[in-house]
């Protein structure tokens, strides 16, 4: 990670959402407790109805109150789930506040300090890659057999790291080779040997 953008407002939103979830959870617990009380009341009225100490209308009204209490619990649980979903969305937004380098390597120069305003398109840092790649073009006649080729620079083997899926206008394909045993300035032209079932002429490659 190179830098973290100012996420003060996002952090405040996350704290508010966390507090909202705690409130929702308390409301669910209170509603569940109220539902239990309404259930107990209905059971008592049902027993009293058997003894003719309560009317059928009393039991019916109690049943309506139980159903209303159940609906409230379900509604509050749904709101709690929605609040948690919103918190997850806010947490995922944290990634958009992180500036990461597109390659691995060593930071050799920083152009800004912590807390400094950075405009869109400005450089933040300069990174020296830990590896280099050489790009070569394999002609149409040999493009279909790239996987069977062995590549070398000054007699040292090169690892095949990527073959372009797209074919060039002339039928050639782009091949990227990993240069792991030495470094050289970008733009250096070097001779690459391609060895397969037949020895081909050395094409030129540019890292």
pLDDT in tens, 49-82: 999 999 999 999 999 999 999 999 999 999 999 9
Q: Which residues of the chain have pLDDT under 70?
A: 1-4, 101-105, 128-133, 140-148, 159, 161-166, 179-207
Residue appearing with tokens 């209308």:
57
Q: Specify the pLDDT at position 203.
A: 43
The helix (H) or strand (E) run that includes residue 107 is strand 105-110
CA 171 to chain centre: 37
| Tokens matching residue 60 | 């019916």
pLDDT in tens, 88-106: 999 999 888 877 766 666 7
- Distance between terminal CA atoms of the chain? 26
Nearest CA to 23 among 80, 82, 70? 80
- Phi-psi region at 21: left, alpha or beta (left = phi > 0; alpha = psi -120 to 50): alpha
Helices (H), the chain: 8-50, 56-93
Sheet holding 173-179, edge to edge: 132-138, 173-179, 156-167, 150-153, 193-195
The reported pTM is 0.54
Cβ-Cβ contacts under 8 Å for 90 (sequence gap 6 or more):
10, 13, 14, 17
């Amino acid at each position: 990670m190179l830098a973290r953008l100012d996420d003060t407002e996002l952090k405040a939103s996350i704290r508010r959402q966390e507090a909202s979830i705690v409130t929702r959870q308390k409301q669910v617990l209170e509603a569940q407790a109220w539902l239990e009380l309404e259930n107990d009341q209905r059971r008592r009225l049902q027993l009293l109805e058997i003894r003719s100490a309560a009317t059928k209308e009393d039991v019916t009204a109690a049943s309506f109150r139980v159903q209303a209490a159940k609906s409230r619990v379900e509604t509050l649980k749904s709101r709690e789930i929605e609040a948690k979903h919103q918190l997850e969305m806010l947490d995922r937004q944290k990634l958009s506040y992180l500036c990461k380098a597109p390659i691995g390597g060593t930071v050799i120069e920083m152009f800004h300090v912590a807390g400094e305003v950075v405009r869109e398109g400005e450089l933040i840092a300069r990174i020296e890659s830990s590896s280099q790649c050489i790009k070569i073009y394999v002609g149409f006649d040999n493009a279909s057999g790239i996987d069977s080729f062995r590549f070398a620079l000054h007699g040292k083997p090169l690892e095949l790291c990527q073959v372009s899926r797209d074919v060039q206008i002339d039928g050639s394909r782009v091949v990227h080779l990993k240069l792991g045993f030495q470094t050289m300035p970008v733009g250096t032209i070097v001779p690459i040997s391609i060895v397969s079932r037949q020895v081909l002429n050395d094409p030129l490659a540019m890292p």
